[in-house]
Amino acid sequence: MRAQDQLEPWQPSGDEPWDRERAALLARRAGFGASPQEVEELWALGLEGATSRLLDYPDEDPALEREILLQGSPLVEYPPDGGREPVRVGDARAWWIYRMARGAHPAQEKLTLFWHHHFACQQSEELPADWMVRQNRLFRRLGAGSFRELLGALARDPAMLVFLDGRNNRCESPNENWARELMELFTLGLDRYSQRDVLEVARIFTGWGLAQGGEPRFEFHEEQHDPGPRGVLGRVFEPGTEEQGESLLDLLLEQPCCAGFLGRKLLRWYLEDDPSADLCEAFGCCLRSSGWSLREALRTLFLSRAFHRPGGRAVLYKTPVDFVISAVRGLEVQNPHLLELPRTLRVLGMDLFHPPSVAGWELGPSWIHAGSVLLRAQFAEQIAALPHSARALAGSAALDLDRIAGELGIDAAGGRAQRHARTRAALRRRLAAPEFALA
């Protein structure tokens, strides 16, 4: 089958129906899995309805915001304009993990996580957690829309300007960090440009800095800008100021390799670990034809033959965030913020707000090794040992063991204590099984 045909809409049939298993697969890939009740609801909506339920989320989740405020510190919602003590990065991680575990729009958080991986920045003494939270909000607000709009916003993002030294990019000493990563990691890929292009792009973005006084706000400093003319990728930019940068971003998206490059990264996040080059190009064309809309491109993917093909399950390794959050959401763990999930993710190798490099995390089978298997088994033990929510314990994460036992088909023989012991053992086996590491 040709790659472009793989992105044609999939049609359910008697041999390959839209069923609960496909609804659960969609929930795992588009978001972080779902509880049995949520799977039932998605299945009842049909494929198109379920896809719309996941992707057509509103900009805000007021019920989640109220829930976060009720939980109090460290899950308090951070105000966008300061006026309080600096945010601690541990609190920021707990806040975001709670959103992933409890929010009504898991596809929004899954896409936010993708952009954190794609535009990876590391929190540090020079890059406060407050600024990382602002960037996180930016990903959440713009992530499903136009990639071009998001790219323009990231070029002005205070966290990115600090992390890649854009604030220090001046006409007398151009800094190449942003220019190089913009082309290599964010738009074109390796070896799609020359060193000359890097230097010219760096000069185009001279003067793109921060407001005076260290405020987390973009400001263009014309006196620090090298106006040109500049030549990049065969195009000459006439002397100019801030608009040169905008024109350069347009040029990058016009490059034939850009759509396929981003398409491959998205397919590795949502479809499979090693997509074919032809499929990456076809999905890149889908991105371009959608006006670079991530929401519409993902809608095409989730409705496609490629997504629902036979043998298309268990071909994508879960990241530690996927692994942990899918367990918490699927089991409807109560008070998940009391599970020390930031620490769990750190030891599993996915420390939010601190990716290993500007290239983000390495995906695929690299997550599965002798050490990680033991750590995942320890997490399974931690979840299985949670108290029964019927005990109404304050200040503790908990599970509804009676409901889970029913879903697992565990009968009541031997009394409630034995039934719960069998339920916990079944949970340990399920969460520690190799197939749970796959989506």
Per-residue pLDDT tens for 368-427?
888 888 999 999 999 999 999 877 566 789 999 999 998 888 877 777 889 999 999 999
pLDDT tens figures, 268-286: 999 999 999 999 999 999 9
Phi (first) and psi of residue 230, to 5 degrees? -130, 150
How high is the pLDDT of residue 270?
98
- In a domain, residue 114? The reply is no
Question: Do residues 301 and 334 both lie within one domain?
Answer: no
Mean pLDDT of 90-105: 94
Query: What is the sign of the dihedral through the CA atoms of 140, 144, 149 and 152?
Result: positive
How high is the pLDDT of residue 192?
96
Structural domain range at position 44: 3-56+256-308
Strand partners, 237: 230
Question: Do residues 262 and 287 both lie within one domain?
Answer: yes
Please give the helix or strand (H or E) that residue 198 lies within, else none: helix 195-204
Closest alpha carbon to 226 in 194, 249, 203, 258: 203
Question: Do residues 400 and 363 both lie within one domain?
Answer: yes
Q: Residue 292 above 80 pLDDT? A: yes
Q: Which two tokens stand for residue 41?
A: 């609801």
Question: Do residues 400 and 362 both lie within one domain?
Answer: yes
Average pLDDT, the chain: 93
pLDDT tens figures, 194-251: 999 999 999 999 999 999 887 899 999 999 999 989 999 999 999 999 999 999 999 9
Q: Residue 172 above 50 pLDDT? A: yes
Question: Do residues 347 and 422 both lie within one domain?
Answer: yes
Give 70's pLDDT tier (boundaries 50, 70, 90). Answer: confident
Question: Do residues 326 and 300 both lie within one domain?
Answer: no
pLDDT tens figures, 353-368: 999 999 999 999 988 8
- In a domain, residue 127? The reply is no
How high is the pLDDT of residue 76?
61
Mean pLDDT of 90-101: 94
Please report where in the chains the tokens 């371009």 appear, as a residue.
288
How high is the pLDDT of residue 250?
98
- In the chain, how long is the greatest CA-to-CA distance? 82
Question: Do residues 370 and 402 both lie within one domain?
Answer: yes
pTM value is: 0.96
Question: Do residues 373 and 395 both lie within one domain?
Answer: yes
- In a domain, residue 93? The reply is no
Q: Residue 433 above 80 pLDDT? A: yes
pLDDT tens figures, 112-149: 999 999 999 999 999 999 999 999 999 999 999 999 99
- In a domain, residue 42? The reply is yes
Question: Do residues 348 and 420 both lie within one domain?
Answer: yes
Give 81's pLDDT tier (boundaries 50, 70, 90). Answer: very low
Strand partners, 235: 232
- In a domain, residue 293? The reply is yes
Q: Residue 78 above 70 pLDDT? A: no
Question: Do residues 287 and 346 both lie within one domain?
Answer: no
Give 80's pLDDT tier (boundaries 50, 70, 90). Answer: very low
Question: Do residues 286 and 347 both lie within one domain?
Answer: no
Q: Structural domain tally of the chain? A: 2
- In a domain, residue 111? The reply is no
Q: Residue 36 above 90 pLDDT? A: yes
- Structure-derived torsion over alpha carbons of residues 232, 236, 241, 245, reported in degrees to the nearest 10: -40
Q: Residue 1 above 90 pLDDT? A: no
Is the preceding peptide bond at 355 cis, omega within 30 degrees of 0? no
Q: How far apart are CA 317 and CA 394, in angstroms?
A: 35
Question: Do residues 340 and 365 both lie within one domain?
Answer: yes
How high is the pLDDT of residue 86?
79
- In a domain, residue 203? The reply is no
Q: Residue 84 above 70 pLDDT? A: no
- In a domain, residue 192? The reply is no
